[in-house]
Amino acid sequence: MELTATTTIRKPASEVYAFWRDLENLPTFMAHLEEVRTTGDRTSRWVADAPFGKDIAWDAEIVDDTPGEKIRWRSAGDADVPNAGTVRFTPAPDGVSTEVHIVLVYDIPGGTIGKAVAKYFGEEPHQQLDDDLRRLKQVLETGEVVRSDGAPWGKRARKEFPQRPAQPLSDAELAKGADR
Amino acid sequence: MRANTWAGRNKVEVRDVPDPRILNRRDAIVRITSTAICGSDLHLVDGYVPTMQDGDVMGHEFMGEVVEVGAGVAPERLRVGDRVVVPFPIACGACGACASELYSCCENTNPNAGIAEKMFGHPVAGIFGYSHLTGGFAGGQAQYARVPFADVGPLKIESDLADEQVLFLSDILPTGYMGAEMCDIQPSDVVAVWGAGPVGQFAMDSARVLGAAKVIAIDKEPYRLEMAERAGHTPVNFEEVDVRSQLLELTGGRGPDKCIDAVGLEATHGSAHIAAYDQVKQAVRLETDRPHVLRQAIMSCRSGGVVSVIGVYGGLVDKFPAGAWMNRSLTLRTGQCHVQRYMKPLLRRIESGELDPTRIITHTLPLEEAERGFEIFKNKQDNCEKVVLKP
């Protein structure tokens, strides 16, 4: 499965590249990621969020790194869901913004994990990635993922429809946090 | 705290809900001193805006005192104790739309942008108390509200103006003003405004302030037309006369130079069969909006004129007179108001006495009586023009 998405961020390409190149930032805006840990100059350990399939983790390596322009990576070893990604950063015509173009490729296996991944992406898989890029834009332009009363847990907004009512959260809800 | 909530179609209910908390670093919590019922709240209650949920706190016109600020709000921008009017569109101030002062199209403040994008092609900003399509933010018909990006939108009121003089800077005064501003008014212009509700009244006043030669008010409620007439505008009752003929009569056959639609998707029509056509299509969801005013404004406007739309539309309309629009060189301009753009200049016009927003207030009720407020406003009982609620 190949997914593409794009957005424009009102920050210079160098800044957007630098944020992405620190792969540990990816879980702040990518819904399916629980954690990314850098293990070497070009290697990292990725852990998926529960809905993506319980306890899925894999190693990844950067295979192409052009500062300010492009990052290409792929899973290494025997990942449960072999995957690869490319993100390109190009200056927008306004002279101040950066266009972000991303391509993700998943080699979805059969069995339980394949089913979990397919269920996660649902009928319109590109939406997940569109939403990921919206949150990347929020983080870079405003400093964090925007929360509302109806969608208080940031990354999970889309999954929560119908949402909780647009009224303030109770102490219990706040203490419980995002329901995984 | 107490808050007025959506409780299903045609029903609002004041209930106990939790007090709001800071969720983002740039939030503030405002203790609300005055809030109002907007004509667009009726679209929600009447069930014409999808994605409302039982328990949603309503209201997008409010002001009050800052009681808490998030760690990301700079003290020189906003502090506890500040008195603020809160604009209804939530804007980040940092995206491309905000950089172009298109605050109601902010690209970052709607957590449900994906849903809005499906409906509108591109997403729109978050709005307080205005469905989950615009973010699912709790509104301001309540004792307290959480205000995101509190360092961008809220206008500090540092003079001793009463709440009633500045409250409408949150929405309807800037909305009416933008309707007139989009008309690019010239000294010789006759401006016709459809709808003598609160937004229409402010569009009329703004057209006058911007130098129009004559301003015409079109409505069917005699008390609303009288209110417009007292402010110096020329009334036309669409239940008593044919609007287009009357507009030709008032303009020597030219038609109004500029036309403002301050009604939107729930228009009524003087001819029963035309009203029924759209009412039936809307009821069975063959069209979402009833565009009588938009059609009539386009057909009435002089060639080369401007039709400015500030009444709310939500989806699709039928029988749009594209031929008249195209062949007669009309310009169609519109938008949810970019309130942040107008708050300071309009505050100055209030301070100088050029505009008196208090002239439309007919009812002031405690928040607990919100349900009655909606009732009389919707049904135009007791000569109701604008309801202000006091939490």
Count of domains observed in chain B:
2
B384's CB contacts (< 8 A; 6+ apart) are B362, B363, B376, B377
Instruction: Give the separation between CA B234 and CA B204, rounded to whole angstroms.
Output: 10
Same domain flag for A162 and A109: no
Same domain flag for A24 and A35: yes
Same domain flag for B306 and B327: yes
Q: Please write the tens of the pLDDT for every residue from A70-95.
A: 999 999 988 989 999 999 999 999 99
Same domain flag for B72 and B213: no
Query: Looking at the DSSP assignment, which residues form a beta bridge with residue B364?
Result: B388
The Cα of B151 is separated from the nearest Cα of chain A by a number of Å equal to 11
Span B258-278, mean pLDDT? 80
A93's CB contacts (< 8 A; 6+ apart) are none
Same domain flag for B148 and B233: no
Nearest Cα neighbor of A7 from B335, B101, B122 is: B122
**Distance from chain centroid for Cα B208:** 19
CATH number for the domain that contains residue A122: 3.30.530.20
> In residues, how long is chain B?
391
For an interface test with B, give the residue of A130, A146, A147 to mutate (most B CBs within 10 A).
A146
Same domain flag for B237 and B279: yes
pLDDT tier at A124 (50, 70, 90 boundaries)? confident
Same domain flag for B90 and B208: no
pLDDT tier at A121 (50, 70, 90 boundaries)? confident
The Cα of A128 is separated from the nearest Cα of chain B by a number of Å equal to 9
Name the residue with higher pLDDT: B119 or B229.
B229
Please name the amino acid found at residue B342. Y
Q: In the prediction, which pLDDT does B270 show?
A: 67
Exposed e or buried b per residue across B19-53, where buried means at least 16 C-beta atoms within 10 angstroms of its C-beta: ebbbbbebbbbbebebbbbbbbbbbbbeebbebbb
Q: Is A165 helix (H, G, I), strand (E, B) or coil?
A: coil
Q: In the prediction, which pLDDT does A105 show?
A: 95
Count of domains observed in chain A:
2
Instruction: Give the separation between CA B113 and CA B95, rounded to whole angstroms.
Output: 14
Contact B57 A149 (CB under 8 A): yes
Query: Which of A94, A166, A170 faces B136 most closely, judged by CB atoms?
Result: A166
User: Is 70 exceeded by the pLDDT of residue B287?
Assistant: no
Contact B24 A146 (CB under 8 A): yes
Cis peptide before A91 (omega within 30 of 0): no
Q: Which residue of B has its CA nearest to A134?
A: B108
Token representation of residue B12: 């609002």
Query: Which of B57, B111, B115 faces A167 most closely, judged by CB atoms?
Result: B57
Same domain flag for B70 and B110: yes
Contact B17 A168 (CB under 8 A): yes
Span B376-390, mean pLDDT? 97
Same domain flag for B288 and B386: no
Q: In the prediction, which pLDDT does A179 show?
A: 57
Give the position of tokens 């899925």.
Answer: A56
Q: In the prediction, which pLDDT does B66 show?
A: 98
Q: In the prediction, which pLDDT does A110 show?
A: 85
> B160: buried, middle or exposed (CB in 10 Å: 19+, 13-18, 0-12)?
exposed
pLDDT tier at A178 (50, 70, 90 boundaries)? confident
Q: Please write the tens of the pLDDT for every residue from B308-366.
A: 999 998 888 888 999 999 999 999 999 999 999 999 999 999 999 999 999 999 999 99
Instruction: Give the separation between CA B363 and CA B374, rounded to whole angstroms.
Output: 11
Full domain range(s) for residue B230: 173-334
pLDDT tier at A180 (50, 70, 90 boundaries)? very low
Full domain range(s) for residue A61: 2-146
Backbone phi and psi for residue B188, each to the nearest 5 degrees, phi listed first: -90, 5
Same domain flag for B161 and B304: no
pLDDT tier at A122 (50, 70, 90 boundaries)? confident
Same domain flag for B140 and B188: no
User: Is 90 exceeded by the pLDDT of residue B130?
Assistant: yes
Token representation of residue B322: 């594209």
Instruction: Give the separation between CA B241 and CA B252, rounded to whole angstroms.
Output: 17
Longest dimension (CA), chain A: 48
pLDDT tier at B298 (50, 70, 90 boundaries)? very high
Same domain flag for A171 and A119: no
Name the residue with higher pLDDT: B265 or B288.
B265
Same domain flag for B199 and B155: no
Name the residue with higher pLDDT: B153 or A122.
B153
Percent of chain B at pLDDT > 70 equals 98
User: Is 90 exceeded by the pLDDT of residue B220?
Assistant: yes
pLDDT tier at B304 (50, 70, 90 boundaries)? very high
Same domain flag for B203 and B318: yes
Please name the amino acid found at residue B287. E
Q: Please write the tens of the pLDDT for every residue from A10-57.
A: 999 999 999 999 999 999 999 889 999 999 999 999 999 877 777 789
| Average pLDDT across chain A, whole number | 91
Contact residues, A window 90-149, toward B, CB-based 8 Å cutoff: 94, 97, 127, 130-131, 134, 137-138, 141-144, 146-149
C-alpha torsion B176→B177→B181→B186, nearest 10? 100
Q: In the prediction, which pLDDT does A12 show?
A: 98
pLDDT tier at A135 (50, 70, 90 boundaries)? very high
